[in-house]
């Protein structure tokens, strides 16, 4: 292990090199969002006064632990939680090169997660690329409508957690060349909340010059709150915390208080209460089809897992209403009762079909609508992952997040068996190899491997990833036609 030093706009950064990869961990990219800046727009990091030792991951945003502390320690994911959390991590094969860059934005429903969960050394080695992962503010610290309630108070900014990401991308533009990356060849990618984030950057004007390709895995703009709903939820939270008439109190609460306030409102508001919303400034207050047409026309991979919704019906972390009546009501809220009846007629009231309908409402059909619109303006590649989890999650099928251990060799080690099972699985291993090769090829060349065709609305050729990959034309044709016009924000 040797120390590697690079000179950036913020001064010298020291990292460590092992097994052909240099790692720079926990680099601050913005000023700590603390005190009066707790909910404000992020500020660029001032220059370091001395060389910065980037030897360990920085603190993650305050959140509930996804693993008990003893297990997290074994897994190597026991990182500190602190409001001083705006850090990024870099893996690079060669600091003297000019390589394509992958910036991966973590998921976790905008309430949990960290860039440290996605070690990028394997992808960097495999593809001869630079990999970057980032932290951003989570929960009510990053996602609230306080600025709507306390209009004009500059201590509050809409979608501050997404603005953190913009600052991180600007840092990459300004500094990645020192780490061997090409600032003119940046791909942004993300899963779940990370995919929602990527979709945001595709329409956010300030993000436009900061990336050149995009990957949207299991999420999209439909998961934003409409402004009215965001304000209603925020007012209820402020009332619960006794801060509706005194915004200064929000600067004094400990971070756990925000979680307790949201928990107290679970009976009134279902789902994740702290998520991005359409504020009209950071993202235009326009219908989804119009937003799709305004996305930056860059090469795009977009897709979902076959059984996404099972993750939310069977696990308590992100509770949603999953009975057939509630699902039909979600469609009606977007497109009216008549369209909801047409959609409902295609699904039986069985667990399997409820999962299929929930997946289609929240993930699959929005991904198809995005692909249809984007393919008219830029190279687009669509996928559906059908590989079913084998471990503790084996009853959930091709559930939400099952793509992550296939793409990141070190994701959740040593507990990958939660997804992958305990026994060797050569077919699964081969699938992971193919997926990583596709993603890396896209980062390098703007298209996945040659077996994966372009997506066009006249054929909708889709890569079905599984034990044996195959290409299918319009694989959800009947359901897709029923969902015509169902294109709103999913409450």
Residue-level pLDDT at 67: 61
The series of mean pLDDT values per 10 residues for the chain, 491 residues long, is 92 96 98 98 93 96 74 59 97 98 97 95 97 98 98 97 98 98 98 98 98 98 96 97 96 96 90 94 96 98 98 80 94 94 97 97 98 98 97 93 95 82 91 98 98 97 98 98 92 68
Contacts of 213 (CB under 8 A, 6+ apart): 186, 187, 188, 298, 299, 300, 442, 443, 446
Contacts of 433 (CB under 8 A, 6+ apart): none
Q: Following CA atoms 41, 92, 444, 201 in sequence, which dihedral angle do they give, to the nearest 10 degrees?
A: -10
Residue-level pLDDT at 415: 74
Residue-level pLDDT at 302: 98
Hey, where are the domains in the chain? 2-482
- Rounded to an integer, what distance in angstroms lies between the CA atom of residue 209 and that of residue 206? 7
Tokens coding 387: 């590989």
Q: CB of 142 within 8 A of CB of 160?
A: yes
Residue-level pLDDT at 10: 84
3-state secondary structure of 23: strand
φ, ψ of residue 289 to 5 degrees: the values are -60, -35
Residue-level pLDDT at 1: 82
Q: Where are the alpha helices (DSSP H) in 44-185?
A: 69-75, 121-127, 139-142, 146-149, 160-175
Strand partners, 130: 101
- Rounded to an integer, what distance in angstroms lies between the CA atom of residue 350 and that of residue 356? 10
Is the bond preceding 414 in cis, omega lying within 30 degrees of 0? yes
- Rounded to an integer, what distance in angstroms lies between the CA atom of residue 270 and that of residue 253? 24
Q: How many residues does the chain have?
A: 491
Residue-wise pLDDT tens digits, 46-73? 988 899 999 999 999 999 876 666 555 5
Q: CB of 54 within 8 A of CB of 13?
A: yes
φ, ψ of residue 89 to 5 degrees: the values are -130, 145
Q: Which CATH number fits domain 2-482: 3.40.50.970, 1.10.3720.10, 3.40.50.1820, 3.40.640.10?
A: 3.40.50.1820
Residue-level pLDDT at 69: 60
């Amino acid at each position: 292990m040797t120390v590697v030093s690079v000179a950036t706009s913020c001064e010298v950064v020291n990292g460590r090199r092992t097994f052909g990869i240099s790692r720079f961990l926990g680099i601050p990219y913005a000023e700590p969002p603390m005190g009066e800046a707790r909910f404000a727009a992020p500020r660029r990091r001032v220059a370091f006064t001395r060389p910065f030792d980037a030897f360990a991951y920085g603190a993650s945003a305050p959140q509930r632990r996804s693993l008990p502390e003893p297990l997290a320690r074994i897994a190597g994911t026991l990182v500190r939680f602190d409001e001083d959390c705006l850090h990024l991590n870099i893996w690079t094969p060669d600091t003297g090169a000019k390589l394509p860059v992958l910036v991966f934005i973590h998921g976790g429903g905008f309430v949990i997660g960290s860039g440290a969960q996605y070690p990028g050394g394997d992808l960097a080695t495999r593809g001869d690329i630079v990999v970057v992962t980032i932290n951003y503010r989570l929960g009510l610290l990053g996602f609230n409508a306080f600025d709507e309630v306390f209009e004009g108070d500059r201590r509050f900014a809409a979608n501050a957690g997404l603005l953190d990401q913009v600052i991180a991308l600007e840092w990459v533009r300004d500094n990645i060349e020192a780490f061997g990356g090409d600032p003119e060849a940046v791909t942004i990618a993300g899963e779940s909340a990370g995919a929602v984030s990527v979709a945001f950057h595709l329409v956010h004007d300030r993000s436009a010059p900061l990336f050149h390709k995009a990957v949207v895995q299991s999420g999209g703009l439909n998961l934003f709150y409409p402004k009215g709903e965001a304000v209603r939820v925020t007012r209820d939270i402020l009332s619960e915390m006794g801060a509706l008439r005194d915004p200064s109190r929000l600067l004094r609460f400990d971070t756990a208080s925000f979680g307790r306030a949201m928990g107290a409102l679970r009976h009134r508001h279902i789902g994740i209460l702290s998520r991005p919303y359409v504020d009209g400034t950071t993202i235009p207050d326009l219908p989804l089809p119009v937003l799709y047409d305004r996305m930056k026309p860059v090469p795009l991979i977009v897709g979902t897992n076959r059984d996404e919704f099972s993750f939310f019906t069977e696990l308590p972390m992100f509770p949603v209403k999953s009975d057939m009546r509630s699902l039909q009501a979600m469609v009606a809220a977007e497109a009216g009762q008549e369209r909801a009846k047409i959609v409902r007629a295609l699904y039986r009231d069985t667990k399997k079909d409820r999962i299929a309908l929930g997946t289609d409402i929240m993930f699959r059909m929005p991904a198809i609508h995005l692909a249809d619109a984007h393919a008219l303006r830029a190279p687009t590649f669509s996928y559906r992952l059908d590989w079913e989890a084998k471990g503790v999650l084996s009853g959930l099928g091709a559930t939400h997040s099952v793509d992550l251990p296939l793409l990141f060799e070190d994701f959740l080690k040593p507990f990958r068996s939660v997804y992958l099972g305990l026994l060797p699985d050569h077919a699964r291993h081969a699938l992971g190899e193919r997926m990583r090769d596709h993603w890396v090829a896209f980062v390098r060349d703007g298209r996945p491997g040659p077996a994966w065709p372009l997506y066009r609305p006249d054929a909708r050729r889709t890569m079905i990833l599984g034990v044996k990959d195959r290409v299918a034309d319009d694989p959800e044709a009947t359901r897709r036609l029923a969902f015509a016009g169902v294109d709103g924000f999913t409450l």
